[in-house]
Amino acid sequence: MADAEGCPVPLSGVASVGLGAVPAAGAAAALPVAAGAEAAACAFCDGQGGSSARAAGMMPPNEAMTIHNGLERSMKGGIIMVRRSHAGRKNPNSRMLDTDARLALIHDWLSRELRLPQVRIEVASSDASFRRYFRVSGGSSTYIVMDAPPEKEDVRPYLKVSHLLEELGAHVPHVHEADVRRGLLLLEDLGATPYLQRLERGGDSERLYADALDALANIQLRGGPASTQLPPYGRSELAREMGLMPEWFLGRHLSLTLSAAEMELLASAFEFLILEALAQPQVLVHRDYHARNLMVVSERNPGIIDFQDALCGPVGYDLVSLLKDCYIAWPRTRVEGWVEGFRTRLLERGGPAGTSIGEFLRWFDLIGVQRHIKVLGIFCRLWYRDGKPGYLADLPRTLDYVREASARYRELGALARFLEERVCPQLPRANARIAAERAGAEAGS
């Protein structure tokens, strides 16, 4: 959900760079294919109706199309492109057209420059940005291609943070090839099972969260030097994020007009949260460390994705992203047990654990309020600005986090009352209004 940060990486004007032992694009890539293999025809399937798009965790559930929604085929330049019709309306997540020039570029890059034989491309996922992800089958191996149009996205922050996290031992997708100028990355395939899918199907939550907490503790404990290479999660960023909530959630979605006193109430609460965030120990912060961005993998679980917006910020931030997840909720007693276990991990290795569990829980709760206030605004902006409705269903859970945590702390008592009296009653009506509008639009199309 975070907006991309500009993290320049010295490139010396090189458009395509090979990472690790892999040669630069255009040379024979260090991939398990025969040297000199001829470029093969490339098959492309829009997999949004299948498991991979939803499993990759970034596609809103109600945007996933099923196979019977209609299938359209065309043949362009040796690429079989399949897209499902949307009954007359655009799908902002895929932006797939028969003449998709980016797909043709990807095909050419894979088959001619990287020389992958028998390339088959299918949608892996899209996310809340302009990035798209494709699963590529080449020979006996599969990879993920990140497609980040350079006029919209900059892959250099991703490459920088990927390198930092990989050096810390975190299981991020290994970058096999990168063409920075054209916005193309060839990545390790971490599979198609995010934590959220496994948890919703009754997976072993204790084991999954133990792995995720171990990985997070390792990043925070070893990531001190790495965090200094990232921008700070400073006052301006914290304030800008929370400013999305009154604009997009309260104003646009709930149609609330705030009085001068209510505006002052929010300003006071936001200032308190900013000061609390800046007072916490600062560590490497992923910024979206949650069940949609953690992949279930057989070795070095979890696989970690969507980290390109990492900053140096509050120690409680990623922990609350994980344990007060906007997409899945757990009882408070269980959350507190996980928080205490995480603090023990930090204590045992001299990490920033606070003077008591009470102080650590306060850090956790208050940065959670800041995060979830931001997310309320972002989820609404994704609908009203970007046409992505799939996140609206997660607003009630996210609002509950803000309301519940605010009620725990005297300094946020006025905010808690404002939410109970003015906000909570309006949310069901607003969501019902959007559902009715969408149903009417689909019926008329």
Beta bridge partners of 137: 120, 142
pLDDT averaged over every residue in the chain: 82
- The arrangement of strands across the sheet holding 141-147 comes to 16-18, 175-179, 184-188, 141-147, 132-138, 120-126, 42-45, 79-84, 71-76
Q: CA dihedral in degrees (248, 249, 255, 260; nearest 10)?
A: -90
SS3 call for 336: helix
How much is the average pLDDT of 198-226? Answer: 97
Pick the closest to residue 294 from 215, 202, 391 (CA basis): 215
* Environment class of 121 (CB within 10 Å of its CB; exposed 0-12, middle 13-18, buried 19+): buried
Q: Say how far residue 364 (Cα) sits from the centre of its chain.
A: 20
Largest CA distance in the chain: 71
User: What is the DSSP code (8-state) at residue 326?
Assistant: T
Q: Which two tokens stand for residue 326?
A: 């906007």
Instruction: For residue range 31-67, list pLDDT tens digits in order.
Output: 433 333 333 333 433 332 333 333 333 333 333 222 2
Is the pLDDT assigned to residue 14 strictly greater than 70?
A: no
Q: Which residues contact 281 (CB under 8 A, 6 or more apart)?
A: 314, 315, 352
Is the pLDDT assigned to residue 305 strictly greater than 90?
A: yes
Which pLDDT score, from 0 to 100, does residue 4 have? Answer: 35
Is the pLDDT assigned to residue 6 strictly greater than 90?
A: no
- Sign of the four-CA dihedral 65, 71, 74, 75: positive
**Most confidently modeled range among 9-18, 36-45, 150-159, 435-444:** 150-159
Is the pLDDT assigned to residue 24 strictly greater than 50?
A: no
Which pLDDT score, from 0 to 100, does residue 410 have? Answer: 98
Distance CA 58, CA 319 (A): 20
90-94, 139-143, 285-289, 351-355: least confident range: 90-94
- Residues 55/48, Cβ–Cβ less than 8 Å: no
- Residues 265/415, Cβ–Cβ less than 8 Å: yes
Distance CA 332, CA 37 (A): 57
How much is the average pLDDT of 185-197? Answer: 97
pTM of whole model > 0.85?
no
Cβ count within 10 A of residue 89 = 12
> What domains lie within the chain, and their CATH numbers?
24-188 (3.30.200.20), 195-444 (3.90.1200.10)
Tell me which H or E stretch contains 163: helix 156-167
Distance CA 16, CA 184 (A): 9
**Please, which contacts does 336-341 make with residues 24 or more away whose CB atoms are closer than 8 Å?**
336/361, 338/209, 338/213, 339/364, 341/213
Instruction: For residue range 145-179, list pLDDT tens digits in order.
Output: 999 999 999 999 999 999 999 999 999 999 999 99
Which pLDDT score, from 0 to 100, does residue 442 have? Answer: 87
* Percentage of the chain modeled with pLDDT above 90: 69
Instruction: For residue range 337-392, list pLDDT tens digits in order.
Output: 999 999 999 999 999 999 999 999 999 999 999 999 999 999 999 999 999 999 99
Is the pLDDT assigned to residue 79 strictly greater than 80?
A: no
Measured between alpha carbons, how far apart are the two ends of the chain, in Å?
A: 31
Instruction: For residue range 94-137, list pLDDT tens digits in order.
Output: 444 444 889 889 989 998 899 887 678 898 876 656 889 999 98
